[in-house]
Amino acid sequence: MDFQGITDRLTAVGAPGFLGVDEPRGKDPEVKGDKGRAGDPFVLVDPQSIDRFLVVCRDDPKLRFEILADLTATDPAADDENLWVNYNLLSVSHRHRLAIKGILPKSEPTLPSAVAVYRAAQWHEREAAEMFGVTYRGHPDPRNILLPDDWVGHPLRKDYEFPKEYHGISCE
């Protein structure tokens, strides 16, 4: 199934939180500074509904996304008020894939955990929590996996300032 077929199916089944699509496009010469958008098409989903949306993606027989291939977050810019959460799904049986994005405010980056839907989300969510400060409600084991427990801040945020030292060890 191609991207249009997937989005048509998501609309037909009333996938919770499905907000729309964003597809690659060339730059618009009428808009000053517009660079267009490269990359894969993606669906935009309300992050507060992501767990229910993923259940539809996994359980609908025409979609059947069996694998959560990736889950992460991105910080577009230091002065941007939002973070992106990104999910990539794969259907081995139907040989199609889907990129999903949601927008979270940096001031309250909290959304439901996807671990109950895809067990692979467990480690991915822990990494995004440490690196970007995203909180996954209902995550079964939110301990750090990369940073010490007393580390301050979230190193992959664009506004992060690296410490000069950590417990007497230079970080410069």
What structural domains does the chain harbor?
Answer: 3-27+37-170 (3.30.460.80)
| Range of lowest pLDDT (61-65, 114-118, 167-171) | 167-171
Indicate if the pLDDT at residue 40 is higher than 90: no
Q: What pLDDT is recorded for position 171?
A: 81
| Residue 25, burial from CB neighbour count under 10 angstroms (0-12, 13-18, 19+) | exposed
DSSP string, 77-95: -TT-SEEEEEEEEEETTTT
Q: What pLDDT is recorded for position 172?
A: 78
For every residue of the chain, which 3-state class applies, written as one string? Answer: CCHHHHHHHHHHCCCCCEEEEECCECCCCCCCCCCCECCCCEEEECHHHHHHHHHHHHHCCCCCCCEEEEEEEECCCCCCCEEEEEEEEEECCCCEEEEEEEEEECCCCEEECCCCCCCCHHHHHHHHHHHHCCEEECCCCCCCCCCCCCCCCCCCCCCCCCCCEECCEECC
Indicate if the pLDDT at residue 63 is higher than 90: yes
Q: What pLDDT is recorded for position 162?
A: 85
Q: Would you say how long the chain is, in residues?
A: 172
Write the pLDDT tens digit of every residue in 87-129: 999 999 999 999 999 999 999 999 999 999 999 999 999 999 9
Q: What pLDDT is recorded for position 8?
A: 97
Indicate if the pLDDT at residue 39 is higher than 90: no
Mean per-residue pLDDT, 144-165: 90
